[in-house]
Amino acid sequence: MSLFVHKYGGTSMGSIERIQNVAKRVAKWHAEGHQVVVVPSAMSGETNRLLGLAKELSETPDPREVDMLASTGEQASSALLAMALLAQGVPARSYTGWQVPVKTDSAFGKARITSIDDQRVRADLDAGKVVIVTGFQGIDPDGHITTLGRGGSDTSAVAMAAALKADECLIFTDVDGVYTTDPRVVPEARRMNVVSFEEMLEMASLGSKVLQIRSVEFAGKYKVPVRVLSSLTDPLISLEEEKNSGTLITFEEDSKMEAAVVSGIAFSRDEAKITLLGVPDKPGVAFAILGPVADANIDIDMIIQNQSVDGTTDFSFTVNRNDFKRTLDVIQKTIVPNTGAREVITDEKVCKVSIVGIGMRSHAGVASLMFRTLAEEGVNIQMISTSEIKTSVLIQDKYMELAVRALHKAFGLDGNPAETAVEE
């Protein structure tokens, strides 16, 4: 007997019929003697509906009350899934985050899980029940309901798997795995059978939206094997087949069959670039610029500081496009007065393209192949940033598809599209 955590996204839970299909799939695992904990998202559209109501009342609704509101979506879908399982004769029980409890900090809207008490869930599992735990939510030290932010159900599932020391956390979604890049951009993209945790972390952080990045971090911290697989297959396909489908995110590099230097091409359109010209080149200037931005709770991605000329320097950084206007506010109100920057230049029409691969650690010349490939396509590189297992460039966003396709080919990732097409 093994213990599995299943996570089903909003699309998989999107209608009564789909919930019944999820129940069938879960029942199949249960019937073969496995213990199963299911973490469902809200029915697709429900969270947006609720947040839309909140927006009608206030441009900036109170975060505590938003969490109170938004958390109802998962509570409802969890109860419905329990009913669907019971209707199929499978003993089941649903719990909210606070009932488990899943304890979090008090950062409403983006809370972090601090601990999970597994007693209640384990008792029900031991009694033969399927246990359903609402994703996306928890309870803070003062007893307020918190949510983990968009995509937080992935994190909930991985955290439950960690708390229960599950054999595997299965993330059922509307794609059948993790691809070498987005198949909508590159039809030749291939599904990976295995991907390392580090690569997945870079891919997720770089805009491959299969998994919420915090769920990958969590998986890394607690060494939870995570499998991304399709919820769109026949729910009654054989357990053996299902167990080996999708993409396994692993921590054992040896198990990685494909020793490609570069495993995938990630990209993100949600970039905006800001450059401050003529800031004094003295100690503390980076903090004077980035401190106020961080204080405004805006994440900064790439950062470049140019060579100093005449005692001043140019300083560029990128933020998520959604945070662009707020960032400019902070710059005009605080940073320009504080630093005496001469000019602010912005560009919202940029994107980031990255090559990711554990093999890069031990292979020279990987970045230069990237730069040569882009040069051959006439793509100008605006910023470069590197880590041990990835190299990212910022380019004009109109070149994005071209760049991704060219890199996918250059690094030998193209496969047979007929075999690996994404199902939706």
Of the residues 54, 239, 260, 402, which one makes contact with a copy of itself according to CB under 8 A:
54
Distance (Å, rounded) from C-alpha 138 to C-alpha 148? Answer: 8
- Least distance (Å) between residue 97 CB and a copy of itself: 12
38 binds a copy of itself (CB under 8 A): no
57 binds a copy of itself (CB under 8 A): yes
- Least distance (Å) between residue 99 CB and a copy of itself: 6
Which helix (H) or strand (E) element contains residue 299?
Answer: none
Q: Which residues from 99-128 bind a copy of itself, rule CB under 8 A? A: 99
Of the residues 22, 38, 80, 159, which one makes contact with a copy of itself according to CB under 8 A:
80
83 binds a copy of itself (CB under 8 A): yes
Q: Which stretch binds a copy of itself (CB under 8 A): 90-98, 203-211, 236-244, 344-352?
A: 90-98
- Least distance (Å) between residue 233 CB and a copy of itself: 22
71 binds a copy of itself (CB under 8 A): yes
Contact map string, positions 140 to 159, toward a copy of itself, x by CB under 8 A: ---xxx--------------
413 binds a copy of itself (CB under 8 A): no
> Which parts of 329-389 are beta strand (E)?
343-356, 383-387
> Which class for 136: exposed (0-12), middle (13-18), buried (19 or more C-beta within 10 A)?
buried
285 half-sphere exposure, CB direction, 13 A CA radius:
22
298 binds a copy of itself (CB under 8 A): no
Residue in this structure with the two tokens 């805009």, named with its chain if needed? 207
Nearer to a copy of itself by Cβ, of 119 and 307: the residue is 119
Nearer to a copy of itself by Cβ, of 141 and 365: the residue is 141
- Count interface residues toward a copy of itself (CB under 8 A): 37
Nearer to a copy of itself by Cβ, of 99 and 233: the residue is 99
Residue 252: CB partners within 8 Å, gap ≥ 6?
none
Using N-to-C axis directions, what is the helix angle for 63-87 and 46-57, rounded to 10°? 150
Of the residues 22, 26, 27, 82, which one makes contact with a copy of itself according to CB under 8 A:
82
5 binds a copy of itself (CB under 8 A): no
13 binds a copy of itself (CB under 8 A): no
DSSP assignment string, 209-252: TTS-HHHHHHHHHHT--EEEEESSS-TTS-HHHHHT-SEEEES-
69 binds a copy of itself (CB under 8 A): yes
311 binds a copy of itself (CB under 8 A): no
Of the residues 11, 12, 20, 245, which one makes contact with a copy of itself according to CB under 8 A:
20
64 binds a copy of itself (CB under 8 A): yes
Contact (CB, 8 A) for 393 and 355: no
Q: How many residues are listed for the chain in this entry?
A: 424
**SS3 (DSSP) at 374:** helix
179 binds a copy of itself (CB under 8 A): no
Contact (CB, 8 A) for 2 and 167: yes
Residue 283 CB coordination number (10 Å): 7
Dihedral angle, C-alpha 25, 28, 33, 39, nearest 10 °: 10
Nearer to a copy of itself by Cβ, of 84 and 331: the residue is 84
The side-by-side arrangement of strands in the sheet containing 383-387 is: 300-305, 312-320, 264-280, 343-356, 390-396, 383-387
Return the structure tokens found at 345.
């230049």
Q: Which residues bind a copy of itself (CB under 8 A)?
A: 16, 19-20, 50, 53-54, 56-58, 61-62, 64-66, 68-69, 71-73, 75-76, 78-80, 82-84, 86-87, 93-94, 96, 98-99, 143-145
